[in-house]
Amino acid sequence: MRVDVEPRRAVASSGSPVTLVVTVSNPSELIAGYDVRVLGADPSWVRVDPPDLRLFPGETSAVAVTVTLPEGVPAGDRRFAVQVRDVADASLVAVEEVVLDVPAASRATVTLDPPTVTAGSAAVFSVLVHNAGNTVQHGRVVARDPEARTAFRFTPAQFSLPPGSSVSLALQARAKRPWLGDPVLRPFELRLDGPLAPPPDSPPAAAGVFVQKPRLARGLLGLLGLLLAVTVFAVVITIALSSVVGRSAADRDLALQVAQARQDTTATGTSSLAGSVVDISTGAVVPDVSVEAFGADPAAPLLTTATAEDGTFVLARLPAGDYTLRVSGAGFDETWYPAAPTQADAVPVTVAVDQAVTGLAVVVGGVPATVSGEVEGDDVAGATLTVQMPLDTGALEGVVPTEPGEAPSTSGAEGAVVRSVPIGAEGTFEVPDLPSPGVFDLVVTKEGFASTVQRVDVAAGEDRTGIELALLQGDGSIAGSVTGFDGGIGGATVVATSGQVVVETVTLTQDQVGSFVLRGLPTPGTYTVVVQADGYAPATQNLTLTAGQALTGVAVVLGRDEATLGGRVSVPGGDASGVSVTVTDGALTLQTVTQSTDPVGTWSLSGLRVPSTYTVTFARADLQSQVLSVAVDAFGSVTAGAPAADAVDATMRSARASVFGVVTQPPALDEDAVPVGNVKVTVSSGADERVVWTASTPADQAGYYVVDDLDPGTYTVTFARSGTRATSEIVVLEAAERREIPIELVAPASIGGRVTTSSGGAGGVAVLLYRASEYGTAAGPVRTTTADEDGYYAFDDVDAPENYILEVRVTQDGAVLATSRPLTLEASKHGTVNIRVPAT
């Protein structure tokens, strides 16, 4: 495929949509489908119309990609990538980069908290400055007092705010405090000052008031008197209210005693019955149904009550004796305790004097239901259909004990038998009068055949038809569980195949989630069991059954059908957005770029096959590429190369190189080298040249230099200082390399000699050093020294190459005694000039 994007660069202001036209061509000889995505941008910013294409051979079509940046996106270049992927072949991916230039928009807010402060000589306010724009805000806050009587001080005085950040300033307002009178209002306003400040005629950013109290207020004595009056009044009110509260508590206790006495006069007994009513189908409590207690007269209830919201009931004030309990209500069949259809079948409850019998559980069901259907098989005549109420779920779980007649465990179902019906040659069946609503197991059994169990859930009074049950020529079974990375997998399809025999089931979605049983398998035989579930890779096992074998404990573990890798790229001190991330295992290659919005530098790629080992490559033009090898197992979990599938992180370094070091030089011949400042360091490669100077201050940094941001390549590094021969070195820099180049320069140029007279050394005379080109002009000497007692002098570290003339005087401002011939001094050379003072 061929992909082109126009424009490649555009200006995008926040809230203003920018439309890019993506042109896709299909050069193949087949019809191809493509989907178009934008990488590195929040999906809510992007609209792709249409998001997918279907192109005939040789056809070209265009897709409109509209990007709308939200408010607050930082100014500068934002790099996105338009990805076009072949739907049929995921390895065919084209990625084109687009740059959106976000212009700078300055906007800052100032909040004064609190806006008013009452104080004496000084008041303290808190000023919060928030940069609501998309560029860095530099400046300060200034306060203006119309009367010019208040002094203001901000701490800190200036600020520099990145986009979206805030800074808190402490504002102290100070003014001369009055001695007497009313409080003085000193209003002021706050304005922003700086390169991005609003125009002077714009409204102030915030305003406040400093309320200054006098030292002696006129109302002080009045306030003290008022406070005394309020205190006396409060004491009086407290005493009065204490009396009223005492009388109210006594009246309340008296009322309770009267109500209890009235209630006791109506009591007819001292015993009670309590329990709860439960729905047989769901196990849920049943509120608002009638519960009646029958004593000696079976036709008339002695006491009636109704269940509460939690299904409980209490029959109180009963005389001692034997009672039968009846429960009835709308939508439920009449039931006698504990689950009997008639009073004759009910279990009596005996209570003694003052006894409270609790924990009575009555199980009720709805209007009878009917189930009907057909049993399919080669020879269904003589089979039996047993309807069971399962004991492993619903209301009977742990409540109703197992009754005689329970289906044998070989059937694969355990429960209380409700009804059994024979199956004729035609295979049809009908079971009426089932308690409903309810959950039932329909178990088909026949000697020599594998039993079949099907669970049905019938509503109240439902007539369920069309139920199909299979009677298989087999007595084997396979039971086990299907698990994944998060535990049991419910709803997975389990299919066992052996020749023409195909048996299918699904794993449970509740209780023992993920468990399954394949019944009715002809034995002996070998079966291929295939397990499949949405979001997981299928699994296959080959299992062999002996005659009549019930194989249990089969464990099937499903892995993911695909994996997702993601992580975060960080660039110390830099922006980690726009980094290209390529994930490949040789056959499949996917690509994306890191986000430029919060969280900046994150990335994610889905649709990766498992298990596999992937090579993850991070690249950007200005950064050093980084490659990771990540192994992913069948569950989509990373086993090597990263801590987790969502933590494939990378810390990238700049691809630019740098050189640094310390330049030293001996002050004079035969002396130890020391760091020296103001050395010119030139780094050149062809026409490109960078120049820096070694530091001279502070003392611990003297002689240090660094040259950053160099492209990889070959460079000539030259060190030059006046009076010294230049020193050069050729270096080859690799990407992200930091090369230390310490250099020791040769000693600088110097001049020395002896001043003599006819009688020997002329000690104490002044020796002046002039540039030859400036001698005799108004220019003074470049250096001055005094000869020692033997007439010797020395000038160290002088500029060279240069021409010099030396002059000898009695004193620095005295008469000239002698002058030397011109001296040509080369760099790093020592010139010897002996001067003889003529006799006078």
Q: Can you give the CATH number for the domain in which 498 is found?
A: 2.60.40.1120
E strands, 585-669, are: 589-593, 602-608, 612-620, 623-632, 638-640, 650-651, 657-665
* Nearest alpha carbon to residue 325 among 312, 314, 338, 306: 338
Do both 403 and 358 map to the same domain? no
Q: What is the DSSP letter of 285?
A: B
Chosen domain end from 744, 775, 799: 744
The domain in which residue 634 lies consists of 563-651
Q: How far apart are CA 414 and CA 53, in angstroms?
A: 57
Beta bridge partners of 118: 211
Distance CA(836)–CA(754), nearest Å, equals: 8
The model carries a pTM of 0.32
CA 659 to chain centre: 39
Place of tokens 């997998």: 489
Contact 46, 66 (CB under 8 A): yes
Instruction: Round to whole Å and give the CA distance between 644 and 647.
Output: 5
Element (H, E) at 96: strand 93-102
Whether residue 338 is contained in a domain is answered as: yes
Does residue 247 fall inside a structural domain? Answer: no
pLDDT digits (tens, 9 = 90+) for 614-649: 999 999 888 888 899 999 887 788 999 999 989 999
- Cα–Cα nearest to 577, from 620, 624, 606: 620
Q: What is the amino acid identity at position 287? A: P
CATH number of domain containing 770: 2.60.40.10
Cα separation, 621 vs 721, in Å, equals 37
Query: Does 195 sit behind a cis peptide bond, omega within 30 degrees of 0 on the bond before it?
Result: no
Determine whether 375 is exposed, middle or buried from the number of CB atoms within 10 Å of its CB (0-12, 13-18, 19+): buried
According to the model, what pLDDT value does residue 719 have?
94
| Cα 2 to Cα 81: distance, rounded to the nearest angstrom | 15
What tokens were used for 158? Answer: 């200036």
- Answer yes or no: is 350 within a domain: yes
CA 269 to chain CA centroid, Å, is: 67
Q: In this structure, are 8 and 88 located in the same domain?
A: yes
The 10s digit of each residue's pLDDT in 752-791 is: 999 999 888 888 999 999 999 999 888 999 999 999 999 9
Among the three residues 588, 620, 651, which one is the final residue of a domain in this structure?
651
Whether residue 239 lies inside any domain: the answer is: no
Task: Name residue 119's beta-bridge partners.
Answer: 212
* pLDDT < 70: residue spans in the chain: 90-91, 181-182, 196, 216-268, 280-282, 330-331, 366-367, 392-414, 447-451, 460, 472-473, 500, 840
Same domain? 485 vs 432 = no
Whether 735 and 681 map to the same domain: the answer is yes
Question: In this predicted structure, what is the pLDDT of residue 232?
Answer: 35
CA atoms within 13 A on the CB side of 547: 1
Tokens representing residue 21 in the block: 């036209």
How far apart, in whole angstroms, are the C-alpha atoms of residue 515 and residue 180? 90
Backbone angles phi, psi at 411, to 5 degrees: -75, -15
Q: Is residue 260 part of a domain?
A: no
Residue 222 phi, psi (nearest 5): -60, -40
The answer to whether residues 577 and 518 belong to one domain is: no
Helix (H) or strand (E) holding 761: strand 760-761
Are 465 and 538 part of one and the same domain? Answer: no
Are residues 145 and 159 both part of a single domain? yes
Closest CA to 127 of 117, 185, 163: 117
* 734 and 664 co-located in one domain: yes
Of 699, 725, 744, the one marking the end of a domain is: 744
Q: What is the pLDDT of residue 500?
A: 67
- What span, in angstroms and rounded, lies between the C-alpha atoms of 367 and 528? 45
Mark whether 684 and 709 lie in a shared domain: yes
The verdict on 359 and 372 lying in the same domain is no
Which of 615, 605, 650 is closest to 39 using CA atoms? 605
Residue 812 pairs with which residues in a beta bridge?
Answer: none
Cα(473)–Cα(451) distance, rounded to whole angstroms? 9
Length of the chain (residues): 840
**Residue 182 sits in the same domain as residue 144:** yes
Q: Specify the amino acid at residue 119.
A: A
Q: For residue 37, what are its two tokens?
A: 């995505």
For residues 279 and 828, give the distance between their C-alpha atoms in angstroms, rounded to a whole number.
109
- Alpha helices by DSSP H, 372-454: none
The answer to whether residues 93 and 120 belong to one domain is no
Residue 263: predicted pLDDT: 40
Q: CB of 40 within 8 A of CB of 53? A: no
CA gap 476, 547 in Å, rounded: 7
Q: 713 — alpha (psi -120 to 50), left (phi > 0) or beta? A: left
Task: Give CA–CA dist 196/310, Å, rounded.
Answer: 68
Evaluate whether residue 731 is within a structural domain: yes
Asked, for residue 702, whether it belongs to a domain, the answer is yes
The answer to whether residue 127 sits within a structural domain is yes
Query: What local confidence, expressed as pLDDT, does residue 625 receive?
Result: 85
Q: How many domains does the chain have?
A: 8
State which amino acid sits at residue 828: S
Compute the distance between CA of residue 692 and CA of residue 683 in angstroms, rounded to an integer.
Answer: 9
